[in-house]
Amino acid sequence: MTPLDSAPARADCGARYSPERTQSWKKAGALALVLAALGLPVNDLFHYALLVVAAVAICLGTLSQPRRVWIAAAVTVGACVLGQLFLAAPRIEEGHNLFLIDAPGGALEAGLPASAFQIMAAQFNERYPPEHRCSASVDGCWRGGAFPSQPYAFSSDGLYDRPAFSRRVTGIDFTDPVWLRLGFINEGGYNWNSRVSDVDRASRDGRISALLHRWRLEMPWFVMYRFPAELVGSSLCWRGDVLWEEPQDHFKLAAHSAMQCRVIAPTDVGRRIFGLAIRQGSPLAMRLEPSRSVALAQLVEPGLSLVGVAAVLGFLVRVRARRLIVAYVLIALTLLVVALNDASFIGGVRPFDAGDDGLVYEGLAREMLRHLAGGDISAALEGGEKVFYFTPGLRYLRMVEHCIFGDTFLGYLSLILLLPFLVLALFRRFLPVEWALALTAIFVAVPVGVLFGSSLVQYAKWAARGFADPAAYIFFLTGLVVLVGKGPDGPRPTFGSACAAAFLFALALFVRPNIAPAVAILLAGSSIAALCKAYYRRLIGLIVGFVPVLGMALHNWIYGGAFVLFTSTAAHPGALVTPPSVYFAAGGELLRLDLAGEHVARATRQIGDWLAGPSESYLMAPLDAAALVVLIRVALWKEMDPWLRLTAWATLAQQCVGMFYAPAGRYYYLTWLLTLLITAVWVQREGLALFQRRWPRIAVQIADHPTRRALARALQTLTTWLRARPIPAEYQHL
């Protein structure tokens, strides 16, 4: 993430602070201190913003070396953690769940208060009359799926504090269940098809004005709160249906069409208050207005988190402000792209679409997390399948994500925030700074890249839907950045960097095995180069780092007793739509001059879909075909950077996947992004000169155009500004 550093500046920083080889460990330690100050899970936007700000500063900065400074930072963080423990705001017990019944009995009827359950059941039956329900035998009907197995759903927010119901919270404020973060809505058993099911999952509001409320949860649900004594004197406000507990387990329905409040009395302490979102046209909204003492207590924990993070950054990190400004602007632009696509990805929990991969992976991850919370590690590692059918990795990443970020998708969002930095680093490795900045800006902010599968919005779209492709590509790009090094001399011949790169490639394959050809070429070429130059530590690092990729085959053997290298769908007709046998048969038809043969048509259609690229438009086929010619040219260009040539060969190998497998655009975003990289380098090294010789007048007109000159001046100014100052002298003694 430091593509704009010059070599002298890096050497200078290393001399002042600590050797470069120790910086990675120090940065990991600083991030650990930040997480300690924030506490787990990091599931609200304030704490997440602190984490992002700190992570960027630590990654872009240089960490001080003296032990006394680290002790000071650790002591400050420890004091903040103790303060959070002993000065914590009062916790409110929260329980929530889907309300779904079809016959007498069940976990809801057995576990909920009888009076409350009867009111909920009456509302459910009124909205979904038994005589009009879909048939359980129809595929996609809710009656053939799962029902709640416990009265209150599991929440990963409560993973560490053992709540009485679902989780513990310090405040209540929601008008939209998407921002209430109800993780149970994406349980795998609730995968209903809205075309046949009378109980819908969700609906989407396509209006521009619905930016923050794009998704409407249609599933019937409820939330329950139980207040401690410290909340007496505070007020609970709500719109919609609320059941307020009275003596002898009786519940009174209070329905408000507009926000109205009720003061929490001493007799309300320990009683259960249910908010219902079951009736049609009765949206639920609730807000807690705390007393002054509670409001002050609610500020203690975030305040101490802020102090702890500031102490880590202030004591340990030194970084140029200009670099931070550019990094934060890049993050802000990325967040804007994400928000315009699906704002719920930034801290909310949207209901995934029925039948989508996102619902499958999230449902499996939640099941695995429940096993992990219950101490059944073997069941958690099984991942819901004895032999992987779906691509394996994302379910495990989702499980880890929920361990760190609770019932949010902020872990995946973090990968998307990292992506522009990786693109900048990769382009900077092979291109001048001005070119790298311009191409990165286009990737992030100009949607023309949608035509080539080289736009941030495409990655954000599929990540928000919970698909595995963006995560795999980001891991791959991270591994590639580490593999090729920062300068024209290539990577350092060390064990650590090689092991890290290979492990990232293994992780990318774990998430998306279809990128195996590119990984194989890159690792094989790197290993041969290391062997030829007698860089044995680097060679061993590549081997050791990549060994975990065998974990997929090991899982399938242990749990399923079958030797399957990746997944059982590698040769599935739905994925391998045009196997090599089709091309052989098409060749036979051509030899017989049967130009209208079945296999010729099938092969031609596949090649056309492949050349259409992620745009899935045949109009792009000539341009994409020209890009393939450039790939071959660069791969065979002996004077070119050998690491770029190796990347070109890997890209060509990955392009071949499009000749055989399903042509869905998301499968090939990585392939065409690498193709763009190779093409951009060719244009800069050779293409522009050819253009100038072939069309000199047009080239002069473009060069003299005011817009091009203005953009060139802006990029040059930005580059000069970024390199203007070293680290201030007053920090040199640290």
Q: Is the pLDDT of residue 9 over 60?
A: no
Q: Is the pLDDT of residue 33 over 60?
A: yes
Q: pLDDT-based confidence at 4, cuts 50/70/90?
A: very low
Residues with Cβ within 8 Å of 444's Cβ and at least 6 positions away in sequence, in order, are 330, 333, 334, 337, 420, 423, 456
The domain total for the chain is 2
- What tens digit of pLDDT does each residue of 517-549 get? 999 999 999 999 999 999 999 999 999 999 999
Q: pLDDT-based confidence at 292, cuts 50/70/90?
A: very high
CA angle (291, 293, 296) in 5-degree steps: 105
| Residue 302 within any structural domain of the chain | no
Express as a percent the part of the chain with pLDDT over 70: 95
Residue 154: predicted pLDDT: 96
How buried is residue 636: exposed, middle or buried, by Cβ count under 10 Å (0-12/13-18/19+)? exposed
Residue 701: predicted pLDDT: 79
Q: Are 34 and 80 in contact (CB under 8 A)?
A: no
Q: Are 372 and 160 in contact (CB under 8 A)?
A: no
| Residue 235 within any structural domain of the chain | yes
Query: E strands within 479-606?
Result: none
| Residue 287 within any structural domain of the chain | yes
Q: Is the pLDDT of residue 713 over 80?
A: no
Q: Are 73 and 312 in contact (CB under 8 A)?
A: yes
Distance CA(228)–CA(588), nearest Å, equals: 79
Distance CA(188)–CA(352), nearest Å, equals: 10
Residue 308: predicted pLDDT: 97
> Which of 199-213, 228-242, 627-641 has the lowest average pLDDT?
199-213
Question: DSSP 3-state helix, strand, coil percentages of the chain (rounded to 5)?
Answer: 60, 10, 30
Task: Give the end of a domain, one of 296, 312, 336.
Answer: 296
Q: β-pairing, 235-246 with 285-289? A: antiparallel
Express as a percent the part of the chain with pLDDT over 90: 69
User: Of 225, 286, 271, which Cα lies nearest the Cα of 92?
Assistant: 225
User: Of 683, 650, 656, 334, which Cα lies nearest the Cα of 477?
Assistant: 650
Read off the pLDDT of each residue in 240-265 and give the average, rounded to a whole number: 94
Q: Under DSSP, is residue 227 helix (H, G, I), strand (E, B) or coil? A: coil
Residue 723: predicted pLDDT: 66
Distance CA(397)–CA(385), nearest Å, equals: 16
Q: Return contacts of 201-208, CB within 8 angstroms, 24+ apart.
A: 201/351, 201/353, 201/354, 202/350, 202/351, 202/353
Residue type, 435: W
Residue 156: predicted pLDDT: 96
Read off the pLDDT of each residue in 714-719 and give the average, rounded to a whole number: 74
CB atoms within 10 A of CB 574: 8
Read off the pLDDT of each residue in 423-427 and give the average, rounded to a whole number: 95
Q: Is the pLDDT of residue 582 over 50?
A: yes
Residue 66: predicted pLDDT: 87
Domain membership of residue 644 as a residue range: 571-694
Task: Give the end of a domain, one of 256, 272, 296.
Answer: 296
Residue 20: predicted pLDDT: 60
The chain-wide mean pLDDT, for the chain, equals 90
Q: Under DSSP, is residue 617 helix (H, G, I), strand (E, B) or coil? A: coil
User: Of 414, 514, 395, which Cα lies nearest the Cα of 466?
Assistant: 395
| Residue 424 within any structural domain of the chain | no
- What tens digit of pLDDT does each residue of 59-76 get? 999 998 789 999 999 999
| Residue 246 within any structural domain of the chain | yes
- What tens digit of pLDDT does each residue of 159-196 get? 998 899 999 999 999 999 999 999 999 999 999 987 88
Full-prediction pTM beyond 0.95? no
Residue 175: predicted pLDDT: 95
Q: Is the pLDDT of residue 261 over 90?
A: yes
Task: Give the end of a domain, one of 252, 279, 296.
Answer: 296
Q: Is the pLDDT of residue 213 over 50?
A: yes
Q: Is the pLDDT of residue 116 over 90?
A: yes
Query: E strands within 231-382?
Result: 235-246, 250-263, 272-277, 285-289, 317-318
CB atoms within 10 A of CB 267: 11
Residue 281: predicted pLDDT: 82
Residue 233: predicted pLDDT: 96
User: Of 29, 119, 42, 122, which Cα lies nearest the Cα of 77?
Assistant: 29
| Residue 253 within any structural domain of the chain | yes
Residues with Cβ within 8 Å of 441's Cβ and at least 6 positions away in sequence, in order, are none
Residue 537: predicted pLDDT: 94
Distance CA(145)–CA(46), nearest Å, equals: 37
| Residue 113 within any structural domain of the chain | yes
| Residue 556 within any structural domain of the chain | no
